[in-house]
Chain A
Amino acid sequence: MRLLASLALQNLGRRRARSFLLIAAVAIGSGVVFTGATLMRSIDDSMAVGFTRLGADMMVAPEGALTNITAALLTVEPTDLVLDADVLAKARLASIARAAPQKIVRVEHSGIGSHHELVDLIGIDPARDFTIQPWLREKLNRELRAGDVILGVGRDAPLGSQLLIFGKSHVVYGKLGRTGVGTHERGIFMSFATLDALAASMPQRPAVLAPGKVSGFLVELAPGATALQARFAILSAVRGVKVVTGESSLSGIRQGLAALLKGILALMMLMFASMAVMVSVLFSAIVTERRGELGMLKAIGARRSQIVGMMVVEAVIATGVGGVLGVTLGILVMRFYERSLVYYLENIGVPFVWLDLPRTVAFAAAAIGLAAAIGALGAFYPAWRASRRDAYDLVRGEG
């Protein structure tokens, strides 16, 4: 084995330009695959966070309620009008993937902020909410429970500190990041139970705090459903509601981006396959060029396995080195990417979640392993064919 590895290394050194080009081609290919796979996985993870932050596709509110349409539908507006909490569940609409009910009460003299400050108290069902909790920037290391509140980014209080609302003590459970939505920035979020418990302390009991009532719903469409289909389905099944859609078709973006990532993955696989074919063609040519040498080796007693082994080891060394260089190149590219685009994205508030270290290492090892495997597979067939030929035919340059 040492002899074969030594011969393989010497053969690579003998044709330096060709070896360099082969290693460079494999380095570029495996670098693209490693970088692409790592970035795709990171983008996928980031999308999981980002999409949940994009909010709902549509809002269902009482018919007469005023609504504030923003790019991201994150909350319904405070209103005196209410809906039954089970109105959408009863309708059983296939176009709705999930619906998060919210209760919003705008109060004065609550003890928060200045004396006359209007404060939005927003009740959520933690188990069904998908528009508020993804924005949690920091929180206590436990589940949200009764008596806990979450503060919008515009309010400042340490985590775990006490906050008096209408004279009742609450614990600051978490803080949201900057959402760009007014009601969120200075809002106080809590579970339905916590909000309902405040009703008795308020000068007037708001209608929405009656049992089984909500201010409205934030709705996410089912995969494949369009906003128009869902809108008609809701309006025909539920009376006394209005359906508000956001400015952008988030479900379309979601579905489109997922398809795009799959397309990129397919392109990378094709690129790797073409690299395998290229290596195979190259080694086919190398074997043809070295028929005389292989024939001589057979003539002095080399076994078929030794002939094949030498060629495969040579290919594995070249493509393996290419793989290592490709991964190194990929790491440099990602460092550059981190310092430019990711930095920019973070600055404008778009989250980018890098793949964790163990998975990155696994991707790097897989890229190097695949590169080496391509070399082995690419060289194996031409070497195996040559090894079957008579030594004399090889020496004479035939076969």
Chain B
Amino acid sequence: MLACRQVSKSYRTERGLVTAVAGIDLDVPAGRFTAIIGRSGSGKSTLMAMIGGLSRPSAGSVTVDGTDIWGLSDNALAAFRNEKVGYVFQFASLLPTLRLIDNVALPAMLGRGQGASGTYARAAGLLERLGLGAYLDAYPAEISAGEQRRVAIARALINDPSILLADEPTSDLDEQTEIEIMDVLRAVNREVGTTLVLVTHNLALAGQAQQIVHIANGALVA
């Protein structure tokens, strides 16, 4: 269970205080596919970052399975991001100097107590499941944008997270690739039971979700 209580985020700028997210309450039951929709600049990505432990809220709390993640120590929060959350960014986020299999294995290698051989076998399995078995030793620059996004999904899944956060994962992809990426995400949600939170401004994609959260000007729209 993921729960946000009066979560707010404000930034101090030269023009004064800017509020990106203002007092949002949100509950996402375990295993549910939730879409957060809204226009650009509405605060949906900021809300997602706070849920994923990437951006500290100015106020409010985010709890995952009863744990206030922003009350954790630096190392515990890093472990939370590493083990509980898989994050798919809206841009190509692979390390260009690492092979695809290294990129996928990286979160597991950063974590504690995971052997390299088991990790790499699992990374290879994930890439094969996502149709990239022939490219294990390739570098990101050698594959397409859609394939890179699939590698990013494989990387997000390497530690078996309970929550998968996808921030506009198909924003710069063609329609066919967008369908393929969404199929992968929904399959993970459906088959593994991973909670899926998708940020998008594409209403057609949001329509596939079990729960839709609409944000405008940093606040929930009823």
- Residues of chain A whose beta carbon lies under 8 Å from any beta carbon of chain B: 3, 7, 10-11, 13-14, 292-293, 295-304, 306, 390-393, 395
Q: What are 22 contact pairs spanning A and B, CB under 8 A?
A: A3-B110, A7-B97, A10-B97, A298-B54, A299-B52, A299-B54, A300-B87, A300-B106, A300-B110, A301-B83, A301-B111, A302-B82, A302-B110, A303-B74, A304-B74, A306-B110, A390-B49, A392-B46, A392-B54, A392-B55, A395-B54, A395-B93
Given contacts A3-B109, A10-B97, A395-B89, contact A300 B81 (CB under 8 A): yes
0 or 1 for each of B200-212: is its CB under 8 Å from A? (1 = yes): 0000000000000
Chain B 59-107 interface residues, beta-carbon cutoff 8 Å to A:
74-75, 78-79, 81-83, 87, 89, 93, 95-98, 106-107
Distance, CA A395 to CA B48, complexed state (A): 13
Q: Is B155 an interface residue (CB 8 A)?
A: yes
Chain B residues with Cβ below 8 Å from A303 are 74-75, 78, 110
CB distance from B12 to the nearest CB of A (A): 12
CB distance from A287 to the nearest CB of B (A): 16
Chain A residues with Cβ below 8 Å from B214 are none
Chain B residues with Cβ below 8 Å from A13 are 97
* Additional A-B contacts beyond A299-B52, A301-B79 (14; CB < 8 A): A7-B97, A295-B54, A298-B54, A299-B54, A299-B87, A299-B89, A300-B87, A300-B107, A301-B81, A301-B159, A303-B75, A304-B78, A390-B55, A395-B89
Contact of B95 among A293, A298, A299 (CB under 8 A): A293
7 cross-chain pairs, A with B, having the tightest CB-CB distances, nearest first? A301-B82, A10-B97, A392-B55, A392-B49, A392-B54, A391-B54, A300-B107
- Residues of chain B whose beta carbon lies under 8 Å from any beta carbon of chain A: 46, 49, 52-56, 74-75, 78-79, 81-83, 87, 89, 93, 95-98, 106-107, 109-111, 155-156, 159
CB distance from A88 to the nearest CB of B (A): 75
Nearest A-chain residue to B55, judged by Cβ: A392
Q: Are A298 and B78 in contact (CB under 8 A)?
A: yes
Q: Are A393 and B81 in contact (CB under 8 A)?
A: no
Distance, CA A391 to CA B79, complexed state (A): 14
Chain B residues with Cβ below 8 Å from A390 are 49, 54-56
Distance, CA A144 to CA B38, complexed state (A): 100
Contact of B89 among A14, A296, A298, A302 (CB under 8 A): A296
CB distance from A365 to the nearest CB of B (A): 31
CB distance from A227 to the nearest CB of B (A): 69
Distance, CA A296 to CA B56, complexed state (A): 16
Residue in B46, B93, B98 with the greatest tally of chain A CB atoms within 10 Å: B93
CB distance from B182 to the nearest CB of A (A): 22
Chain B residues with Cβ below 8 Å from A304 are 74-75, 78
Q: Are B81 and A299 in contact (CB under 8 A)?
A: yes
Q: Are B110 and A301 in contact (CB under 8 A)?
A: yes
Chain B residues with Cβ below 8 Å from A296 are 89, 93, 95
Residue in B53, B54, B56, B82 with the greatest tally of chain A CB atoms within 10 Å: B54
